[in-house]
A and B are shown apart, each in its own frame.
Chain A
Amino acid sequence: MTEYDVTDDVAAIVEDTELPRRLKDEVYRTIEDRGGVTAEEADEIARAVENRYVETRVDPLDPVGTVSAQSIGEPGTQMTMNTFHYAGVAEIDVTQGLPRLIELVDARKEPDTPMMTIHLEEEYATDREKAHEVVWKIEATKILALGDVSTNVADMRVQVNLNPDTLDERMIEPEAVAEAIEAELGVETVQRGTVVEFGPEQPSYRDLLQLVEELRDIVFKGIEDVTRVVIRKEETERGEEFVLYTEGSALGNVLGIEGVDGSRTTTNNIHEIYRQLGVEAARESIINETMETLETQGLDDVNVRHLMLVADIMTNDGTIQSIGRHGISGAKESVLARAAYEVTVNHLLDAAIHGEVDDLNGVIENVIVGKPIKLGTGDVDLKIGSFSETAAKPSDD
């Protein structure tokens, strides 16, 4: 039944406890290591572990949210305020520290430094040539990467001298470049070999410069939002393979590209994860990103349960809500609880105009009015009295 070398009696005893799998396995491992543990001794060990486990569980009515807030907040005060940028993996600039943490709990639509980690399918991941093929499909290729642009003011023409080697490497035909220019700028082009020429319809110096300006923004190949791709050889769970890191993020586009492993590719933009992979993946991603942010700051002793609670609350309604007055706190039912958080006067004024009623069910509003809160011992009523043995036993209520 178990993969551990223990007797059936011992296994039955351990399986009978309330312990989660991981702790059961550890008990088995310990018993196995000791060797010659009798069933009675095993029972004693299992009981001791179970007692300790049950003791450490959260009690009913424990204010877990408050504990989480303090447990994340206190280490947060030790974070450097201005570690705005820090060269993360593969020389790509990634926001770290407090700004990143704030960005995550605020659920910003777009992170300050969006980036993707792209894993490749097996045949692409081990072959540098093939990996590069994928890079060119992802990295936005603009005209300056392909050749030189010169303006001939006398003839009112723009001339693009494409570099044949670069075209070859990125697998772009000169004809494709000319077509893209025609489609994007709405001009007639003349293409001879690797030279593409075009100009404004009417001779105008302003239009000519305008065309050059627009030409620089055309994306000839790749994804517009991805400005840079770094390729790195890394040791992963599948052995040594090439992994791509990008500046800029467009998960939806990347997942469809041939050669990209759609099961391991991720982004640091939680909203993109939400759109492409759903709310549960977004929850996972929030936990991963916040934990990683704390870890890189040396605050890895923050228990992951606190971050899981944050992620649970943020994704509770099926979308990503921010922590704060535009999200969770702003959606609170109680007027006083909302007013206690931020922009007090506005909340009170709006509540007065709409004739809102506060039922004083929550914690904050009861602290404000000075009543006991419904948490911990504040939620139970104790009555001292006596009852005769013949009378009915007190009910569960």
Chain B
Amino acid sequence: MVDVSQHKLVPEHSVVDEDVLEGILDEYDIKRTDLPKIKRGDPALPDDADTGDVITVVRDSRTTDRAVAYRLVVD
């Protein structure tokens, strides 16, 4: 199949380490379930991502140079 991550519409996805995530959730004062979601079967998901992991998406932003977003992997 085609490598989805090469598509210009697909931003970079990567799994967030648990200890880094802790800091992020603290900073925003939210629970991990408050994050936007991404489906387990999403074609752009990295192979090592599992349900319950949080992934970070680094978007080429229209309003600033790079925008970092987070999504929780759900079934």
Contact = CB atoms under 8 A, between A and B. Distances in A.
Interface of A: 20-22, 255-256, 262-264, 266, 273, 275-281, 284-285, 287, 304-305, 308, 312, 315-319
Contacts of A316: 36-37
Contact of A319 (B6, B9, B39, B65): B39
A304 B63 contact: yes
A317 B37 contact: yes
Nearest to A308: B62
Interface of B: 1-4, 6-11, 13, 36-39, 42-45, 57, 59, 62-66, 71, 74
Contacts of A318: 36-39, 42, 71, 74
Nearest to B42: A278
A263 B57 contact: no
A278 B71 CA distance: 12
Nearest to B37: A318
Contacts of A279: 38-39, 42, 44, 71
Nearest to A285: B9
Contacts of B43: 275-278
B23 to A, nearest CB: 19
Nearest to A307: B62
Given A21-B65, A280-B11, A312-B36, 7 more contacts: A20-B64, A256-B1, A278-B43, A284-B11, A285-B9, A308-B62, A318-B71
SS class, residues of chain A in contact with chain B? helix
A277 B9 contact: yes
Contact of B8 (A20, A264, A305, A317): A264
Contacts of A256: 1-2
A227 B42 CA distance: 29
A280 B13 contact: yes
Q: Which 7 pairs show the lowest CB-CB distances between chains A and B? A: A278-B44, A21-B65, A318-B37, A281-B9, A20-B64, A262-B2, A278-B42
A284 B9 contact: yes
B36 A262 contact: no
Given A277-B7, A279-B38, A316-B37, A255 B2 contact: yes
Nearest to B66: A21
B43 to A, nearest CB: 5
Contacts of A266: 9
A318 B49 CA distance: 15
A28 to B, nearest CB: 14
A178 to B, nearest CB: 32
- Residue of A20, A280, A281 ringed by the most chain B CB atoms within 10 A: A280
Contacts of B37: 316-318
A22 B65 CA distance: 6
Nearest to B73: A318
26 contacts: A20-B64, A255-B2, A256-B2, A262-B7, A263-B6, A266-B9, A275-B43, A276-B4, A277-B10, A277-B43, A278-B4, A279-B38, A279-B44, A279-B71, A280-B9, A280-B10, A280-B38, A280-B57, A281-B9, A281-B10, A281-B44, A304-B62, A305-B63, A318-B38, A318-B71, A318-B74
